[in-house]
């Protein structure tokens, strides 16, 4: 009996050893847009403690708007990031980051990547798009998105991220028939993520989840309420067995999943549960 018990323990231990640990990364919202002192640093401190493989950002890293002061603002941001420089970081450009040819060169210099690009990390592929200077996507951005997604169609988890949530009205009004949704469905994109509005919003369209990230440092409305989507926080994503689980973590400790949110804030509790 003792030998059988030992055999069972060895088999269980072997199975546990072979189980792959989840691949984990973070998604943060805007730092600027009337930056609130210390919030961005608190977000990074919290997420870095969980050792993400990389961090994605919806943009607005500097206040921007003036070519003359752009360099000094980017230097300030770079110095601020020094404690976390070992963590790979990728950001979509926000309207506070790029507003001119000169500011685009500063964005490239300090982030280390162009305005649109793809990221391969473990089982994840991220398509980063640039709508820093337009409310929607230009034909060139759609073309880049399709080429990038086609090239990485085999990735287990695919995400599209941009700064402005150009899809907000379409998720409500267009019945699933709009350009980015067609691309997402064609190539198996699970999440389409943006920032800009500093509020947590969410919609699911035919299996594709659209997420507007809460602020990671930019201002909140004066009458802000958590249940309306106005809070400071970040996203935490775990990928295991080809499936991604996205959680929203507020700095005050509250944790939700995107499905608990709608386009006007937290959904009311389901009375059937």
Q: Which residues form the domain of 76?
A: 20-266
| Residue 166 resides in a domain | yes
pTM of the predicted model as reported, rounded to 2 decimal places: 0.91
- Give the pLDDT confidence score for residue 213 in this predicted structure: 98
pLDDT value of residue 18:
57
* Element of type H or E holding 73: helix 67-80
Q: Cα–Cα distance between 29 and 59 in angstroms, integer?
A: 7
pLDDT at 67: 95
Is residue 10 situated within a structural domain? no
| Burial state string for 186-224 with b = 16 or more CB within 10 A and e = fewer than 16 | ebebbbbbbbbbbbbbbbebeebbbbbbbbbbbbbeeee
Residue 268 confidence (pLDDT): 85
In a domain, residue 63? The reply is: yes
Give the pLDDT confidence score for residue 152 in this predicted structure: 97
Residue 49: its pLDDT value, please?
97
| Conformational region of residue 206, where left means phi above 0, alpha means psi within -120 to 50, and beta covers everything else | left
Question: For residue 223, what pLDDT is reported?
Answer: 76
Spans of the chain, pLDDT less than 50: 1, 7-11, 13-17, 273
Tally the domains of the chain: 1
Asked if residue 209 belongs to a domain, the reply is yes
Q: What is residue 224's predicted lDDT score, i.e. its pLDDT?
A: 82
Question: Which residue carries 């930019």 as its tokens?
Answer: 218
Decide if 61 contacts 94 (C-beta within 8 A): yes
Task: List the CATH number of the domain containing 75.
Answer: 3.60.21.10
Predicted pLDDT at 17: 46
Q: Cα separation of 19 and 64, whole Å? A: 46
Q: Is residue 57 part of a domain?
A: yes
Cβ-based burial of 237 (10 A; exposed 0-12, middle 13-18, buried ≥19):
buried
Domain annotation covers residue 272: no
- Per-residue pLDDT, 1: 47
Give domain status of residue 12, yes or no: no
In a domain, 253, yes or no: yes
């Amino acid at each position: 009996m003792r030998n059988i018990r030992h055999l069972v323990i060895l088999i269980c231990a072997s199975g546990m050893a072979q189980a792959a640990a989840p691949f984990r990364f973070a998604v943060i919202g805007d730092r600027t847009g009337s930056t609130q002192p210390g919030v961005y640093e608190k977000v990074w401190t919290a997420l870095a403690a969980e050792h993400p493989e990389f961090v994605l950002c919806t943009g607005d890293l500097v206040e921007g708007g003036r070519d003359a002061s752009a360099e000094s603002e980017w230097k300030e941001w770079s110095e601020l990031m020094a404690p976390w420089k070992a963590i790979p970081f990728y950001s979509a450009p926000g309207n506070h980051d790029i507003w001119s040819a000169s500011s685009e060169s500063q964005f490239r210099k300090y982030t280390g990547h162009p305005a649109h690009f793809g990221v391969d990390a473990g089982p994840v592929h991220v398509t980063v798009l640039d709508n820093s200077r337009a409310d929607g996507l230009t034909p060139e951005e759609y073309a880049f998105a399709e080429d990038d997604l086609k090239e990485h169609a085999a990735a287990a988890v695919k995400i599209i991220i941009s700064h402005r949530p150009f899809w907000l009205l379409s998720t409500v009004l267009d019945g699933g028939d709009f350009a980015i949704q067609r691309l997402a469905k064609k190539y198996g994109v699970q999440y389409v993520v943006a920032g800009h509005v500093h509020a947590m919003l969410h919609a699911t369209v035919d299996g594709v989840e659209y997420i507007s990230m809460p602020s990671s440092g930019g201002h909140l409305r004066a009458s802000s309420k958590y249940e309306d989507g106005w809070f400071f926080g970040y996203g935490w994503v775990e990928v295991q067995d080809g499936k991604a689980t996205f959680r929203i973590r507020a700095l005050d400790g509250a944790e939700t999943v995107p499905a608990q949110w709608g386009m006007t804030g937290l959904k009311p509790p389901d009375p059937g549960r």
